[in-house]
Chain A
Amino acid sequence: MHPVFLTILKRLGLGVLTLLVVSMVIFSAVEMLPGDFTEAVLGQRATVETVAAFRKELGLDQPAILRYLDWLGSVCTGDLGTSFSGRDASGIDRSRPVTELIAPRLTNTLFLATFTAIIAVPLSLILGLLTALYRNTIFDRSTNITTLTAISFPEFFVAYTLILFLASLFQIFPSLSNVDENTLFFERVYMTALPAITLTLVTVAHMLRMTRAAIINLLASSYIEMATLKGTTKLNIILRHALPNAWAPIATVVAFNLAYMVVGVVVVEVVFVYPGIGQLMVDAVTSRDIPVVQGCALIFACTYIFLNLTADIIGIVTNPRLLHPR
């Protein structure tokens, strides 16, 4: 078997293990709830029978390990449990399954994330490459100061400044992105323009700095100096000597920042009232609807781990030294 294949398999196994432990951590959130939370969910007028039924539904009469395995089994088959909201003291249950709440919002969030990535990734890679090639020029320095400032800004500051100028003073884009499933594609793009621009600005700053650092690091190595000394053209150095070794750091940078975007999405969605999974999670935290919080956290954590894993694997697959072992 090819040694690269083995390394990838090992990395995949590690990823699955991490996921398993993370799921355990997220599951134990319910364990840490105070004992009287059933009353808090059902209301003070709840009868002893409704409380007992609710506890039985949550499986609180069983040991934690059995409940975890049960929960894990249903999560794997796509069942994230039922929301705490919509229940009341009378025992009438109007609660909805968590999957039903999450599914439409997940597509919205994915749309926003893909939209942003399509703009942000090429933009920051090109700018990062340019600043690395023309380093210590005015162009590089001004970009450096701009990105350093942009990183220090909270997302909501960027978002509201954009709203002030692009939606309020000059009404170019709508300030609310309340799309629904009937919104047509182009209208949807137009309505999500402002959240996408906000996310782009925040992630480009990070991605650009990291790309620049990775490329400069690469250009300092001796084989590049050798290529320069033997008279290879600048374009050829980049394309034939630098780029094959640059894929790994660049992939890491992109994946890392997409993972960063996953988190940034929460604040941006709340600012623009965009019906995504981040807003759902914040609402669930406010109302302490634990199953929904768990579901959202699990999705965020999975995406995060998956993106980091992808970066690792791309790094391994594109590494010429690993591909052609001596």
Chain B
Amino acid sequence: MPKSNITNYSAKIESALVYTRRSRFERFWIELRKAPLTAWIGMITVSLYIFVALFAPFIAPYGEAEVFPVPYDVWSDKHIFGTDQIGRDIYTRLIYGARNTIGIAVATTFLAFLIGGFLGLLATILRGWVDQILSRLVDVLMAIPGLIFSLVLLSVFGSTITSLIIIIGTLESTRIFRLTRSVGLNVVVMEFVEAAQLRGESLRWIITKEILPNIVPPLAAEFGLRFCFIFLLISSLSFLGVGIQPPTADWGSMVRENASLIQFAKFDIFVAITPLLPAASIAILTVAVNFIVDWFLHTSSGLKDEK
């Protein structure tokens, strides 16, 4: 009800008005309109990637592992980005790569959050020796660089997609454990948690209803950052040839398979940048996610730039 139109104002009418809280969507939309340009670029890029990943079979002109007679073919109408070392269409494999690479990274991030988040909360609530044992274990795991540790474990268990997800998910869960524990410790000392404990609520209730809603914003930001790290780590491992194995299309291994094309830059610049396309796909997605996380951290914590 616009104020300027009121000619006969009465307190009775105003107090009788029903005020409803803005719906979740409305509040979200208001915040979204204030988002800076970089955040918008990030969100549009990420949605584009997700769209491509979900509808890969409908967008791609050929099959994921379909082989054509000419290997290392030039860019043409038939093959937009040419073909790779055994004659598979690069454009098609880029599209399927989105599905495989992003899908595996997302699954790994979820696993890491499941393990790290659960153990972190357990350590904050139970304290005592549970906390001590878990924290020391995490210290040891973090003393070895992630890439090196995953190389050791992959050499033992072999490079299958399942072992890749489990190994990296477990290793990365250490960072999430640390974060959940430190944020959770601030919440667990609050009175409402103590009240819930005195009421005799179960462990599950205290975790899901009392603590979790209060630590979601930092964990959400961490999800974005962790996804970037895991995504880069898996791409690096695939690039090294010990991650996702052929014939599964994947950006990291595509870079390695076509790397030798770079030396022909003087003769055909397009062929030479072919191996950079999957690498650029990786880089653009990480930058986009970082832009979103940056904006999210800014709004959710009220953190302004240091002066």
Q: Which residues of A are at the interface with B, using a C-beta cutoff of 8 A?
A: 18, 21-22, 25-26, 29, 32-33, 136, 148-149, 151-157, 160-161, 163-164, 167-169, 175, 213, 216-217, 220, 259, 262-263, 266-267, 270-271, 281-282, 284-286, 288-290, 293-294, 296-297, 300-301, 304-305
Contacts and interface: CB of A to CB of B under 8 A. Distances in A.
Contacts of A220: 306-307
A202 B228 CA distance: 16
Given A152-B228, A154-B283, A300-B148, A169 B265 contact: yes
B143 A29 contact: no
Given A33-B156, A169-B265, A267-B239, A164 B148 contact: no
4 interchain residue pairs of minimum CB distance: A168-B265, A157-B279, A152-B286, A285-B155
B115 interface: no
Contact of B286 (A153, A155, A163, A259): A153
Given A148-B290, A285-B151, 8 more contacts: A148-B294, A156-B239, A156-B256, A157-B276, A160-B279, A282-B151, A301-B143, A304-B144
A293 B151 contact: yes
B70 interface: no
B237 to A, nearest CB: 9
A213 B305 CA distance: 11
A21 B140 contact: yes
A32 B158 CA distance: 12
Given A33-B156, A301-B148, A22 B279 contact: no
Interface string B273-307: 10110011011001100100010000000000111
B152 interface: yes
A286 B153 CA distance: 12
Nearest to A32: B156
A282 B240 contact: yes
A9 B188 CA distance: 35
A294 B152 contact: yes
Interface of B: 139-141, 143-149, 151-158, 228, 232, 235-236, 239-242, 252, 255-256, 259, 262-266, 269, 272-273, 275-276, 279-280, 282-283, 286-287, 290, 294, 305-307
A154 B158 CA distance: 24
Contact of A259 (B145, B155, B264): B145
B232 A160 contact: no
A305 B155 CA distance: 22
Contact of B236 (A32, A155, A213): A155
A293 B50 CA distance: 37
Given A157-B283, A160-B262, A164-B265, A284 B155 contact: yes
B280 A157 contact: yes
Nearest to A216: B306
B283 A25 contact: no
B145 A304 contact: yes
Contacts of B144: 22, 25-26, 297, 300-301, 304
Contacts of B152: 26, 29, 285, 293-294, 297
Nearest to A301: B144
B286 A156 contact: no
B140 to A, nearest CB: 5
Contact of A285 (B154, B255, B266, B276): B154
B287 A149 contact: yes
A58 to B, nearest CB: 15
B262 A175 contact: yes
A157 to B, nearest CB: 4
6 contacts: A153-B287, A156-B255, A167-B262, A169-B272, A213-B306, A301-B145
B97 to A, nearest CB: 14
A163 B307 CA distance: 40
Contact of A266 (B141, B240, B263, B280): B240
A262 B307 CA distance: 34
A22 B140 CA distance: 7
Given A164-B262, A168-B266, A290-B156, A270 B240 contact: yes
Nearest to B137: A21
B143 A305 contact: yes
A215 to B, nearest CB: 11
A213 B306 CA distance: 9
Nearest to A303: B145
